């Protein structure tokens, strides 16, 4: 059986659900701990994906000498 790949957007949506549930504060302690653990795993996975995307963007944004050029968001080279 193959595992269905979860998208970044799905992970982020689940993380938002977890935050809302924890902010509500009415879940039993054991459930809150499970939600917190799931949330920390999602944060780690999302951070890795964002880092990879940033590295890919930097590779695509190279100057004339081949060195990466970092510009503020919204500026064009």
Residue-wise pLDDT tens digits, 33-47: 999 999 999 999 999
The answer to whether 11 and 42 are in contact (CB under 8 A) is yes
H/E element holding 31? helix 29-60
Give the chain's mean pLDDT: 85
- Residues 67-75, mean pLDDT to the nearest whole number: 66
pLDDT digits (tens, 9 = 90+) for 22-36: 999 999 999 999 999
What is the rounded distance in angstroms from the CA atom of residue 20 to the CA atom of residue 62?
41
């Amino acid at each position: 059986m193959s595992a269905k790949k979860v998208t970044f957007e799905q992970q982020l949506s689940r993380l938002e659900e977890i935050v809302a549930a924890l902010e509500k504060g009415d879940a039993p302690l054991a459930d809150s701990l499970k939600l917190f653990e799931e949330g920390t795993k999602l944060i780690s996975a999302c951070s890795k994906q964002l880092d990879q995307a940033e590295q890919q963007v930097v590779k695509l944004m190279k100057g004339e000498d081949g060195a990466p050029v970092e510009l503020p968001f919204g500026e064009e080279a």
